Structure formats: structure tokens, C-alpha cells
Homo-oligomer: A and B are copies of this chain.
Amino acid sequence: MQFTSHTSIGDGVAERAFILGEIPGVLWLPESTSAPVPLILLGHPGGLGRMRARLVERAKRSVREGYAAATLELPGSGDRPRSAHVEQARADLRHALAAGEGVTEDLVNRLVLPLVDAAVPEWRALLDALLSLPEIRGPVGYAGGIIAIGTRLALVEPRLAAAVLFAGSYVPQATFEEARQVNIPLLVLLQWDDDGNDRQMALTLFDAFGSQNKTLHANMGGHTGVPHFEGEAGQHFFDRHLR
């Protein structure tokens, strides 16, 4: 992990851009801390540049409450090389949606599973790097989309102690099977009137998670309209499980 910049972005928050191997990412930390802080990984749908304003808002909230926050570009997004297979699946998805056709299970698999398979080892490598910094300690939380990535990470990464998962993306059948084996505390966010999302599928996925301690928060406001107060609710959730 190589840090490429170090800037103050106000409100007592330091932002450090980095490259992990060839993957760009960002770490946010309190400008002054006396002891190592717990870490929240910020999931997103891909495209750090496009997502920057929302990620900074989320990171600032966590850093204000005494956490570090970090994120990593997803495979095939931003400046990272595209995969021909995933690009084909994305083209097929656009075609299916434009034609008003249903999105088949095969298409969801081609779209999401290669991304999960590629991204999860990268986020685990990010954890290796971040937890070796003197400023950061475990346990670790994960917050955000893509829910298939968060589910896989919750299943395979023992350093992950709790997760806030955004149920707003296509869910491969394999993710339901993995969800049954997940047992860390979960807060699942659902946008109730998200036209592009299958509400019943999200409820079924929430039901499938094996965790004894799981909570669903459903709100109005469409796919990108998650209310601001859910940021606070997520922070209270992490306070209960990472402190």
C-alpha cells in the first residue's frame, strides 16, 4: 500500500489517497487521535470519482465518531481495466431493461459473481494493509453495497464483526446460500419504493441471513434516497458492535 496524498478536508478529518497494488483507494482518519481507532469499510457500486461526495459525507460521519473509514475502487470501475465478460453482461442488462425483458438468473450471475469473486480478495488485502497501520485496530465493520460483496465478505472474513448492507442490487442465487451461513450482526437497508429493485427478493434475502442479530430498516425515497438519519442509525449500530 502506497499513500499518494495526504490532505485535511475539514471537520478534523484527514484524507489519504493510496494505491494497493494497482487499485486506487482512500483512507479517512481523525486528524488527532491518542489511540488506534476501529475501522469501517465503505462499500459502493463502483466509480470512486462519481461516488466521491457521498463517500466523503459517510466517511466524515464515521471519523467524527472516532472511527477510520476506507474504500477501494471495484474491479472494472473507475480507471481500472474492464473485464470483457462483465462488460458483455452489462450490455446485455441494458438491452434487457430497454426491451422491458426480465433479468434472468443467468444474467445476474454473469453480472455479479465475477465482481464478487474479484473484489472480496482485494478488500481482504486492504484489511491486511490497514490493520498493520498504527492508527487502526480491529474489529472492522463493512457498510454499503454491493450486497453480494458484503455478504461474501461477512462469510469469509473473520475480522469483519458487523455489517450494514444495502439491499438495492441484483442478488445471485449463490448469495442466498451464502447468507444462510452468515452469523455476524447485520443492519440491512431497503428502499421500499425502489423501482429498479425487487422488494420481495430483498425481504427474502433478509430472511435468509443466519444472523441471530439482524435488523431491517425500510424507507421511502427511491434507490438513491436513503434518508440522512440512516447514516446516524448505522453509526449507532457500529457503536454497539465495534466498541
Instruction: Report A's interface with B, CB cutoff 8 A.
Output: 192, 203, 206-207, 212-220, 227, 229, 232-233, 236, 240
- Distance in angstroms from A188 CB to nearest chain B CB is 9
- Distance in angstroms from A228 CB to nearest chain B CB is 10
- Distance in angstroms from A51 CB to nearest chain B CB is 24
- Distance in angstroms from A93 CB to nearest chain B CB is 27
B212 near A215 (CB under 8 angstroms)? no
B215 near A219 (CB under 8 angstroms)? yes
- Distance in angstroms from A190 CB to nearest chain B CB is 8
- Distance in angstroms from A208 CB to nearest chain B CB is 12
Residues of B within 8 A of A233 (CB): 233, 236
A207 near B220 (CB under 8 angstroms)? no
A218 near B206 (CB under 8 angstroms)? yes
B214 near A220 (CB under 8 angstroms)? yes
> Nearest B residue to A209 by beta-carbon distance?
B220
A217 near B219 (CB under 8 angstroms)? no
- Please tell me how many copies of the chain the complex holds: 2
> Nearest B residue to A216 by beta-carbon distance?
B218
- Distance in angstroms from A88 CB to nearest chain B CB is 37
B220 near A213 (CB under 8 angstroms)? yes
- In this complex, the member of A212, A227, A229 whose beta carbon has the largest number of chain B beta carbons within 10 angstroms is A229
A207 near B192 (CB under 8 angstroms)? yes
B213 near A192 (CB under 8 angstroms)? no
Residues of B within 8 A of A240 (CB): 229
Residues of B within 8 A of A192 (CB): 206-207, 216
B218 near A215 (CB under 8 angstroms)? yes
- Distance in angstroms from A5 CB to nearest chain B CB is 36
- Distance in angstroms from A185 CB to nearest chain B CB is 11
* Docked CA distance A217–B229 (Å): 13
- Distance in angstroms from A89 CB to nearest chain B CB is 32
- Distance in angstroms from A107 CB to nearest chain B CB is 28
> Nearest B residue to A207 by beta-carbon distance?
B192
- Distance in angstroms from A133 CB to nearest chain B CB is 31
* Docked CA distance A219–B216 (Å): 7
> Nearest B residue to A213 by beta-carbon distance?
B220
Residues of B within 8 A of A215 (CB): 217-219, 227
- Distance in angstroms from A135 CB to nearest chain B CB is 29
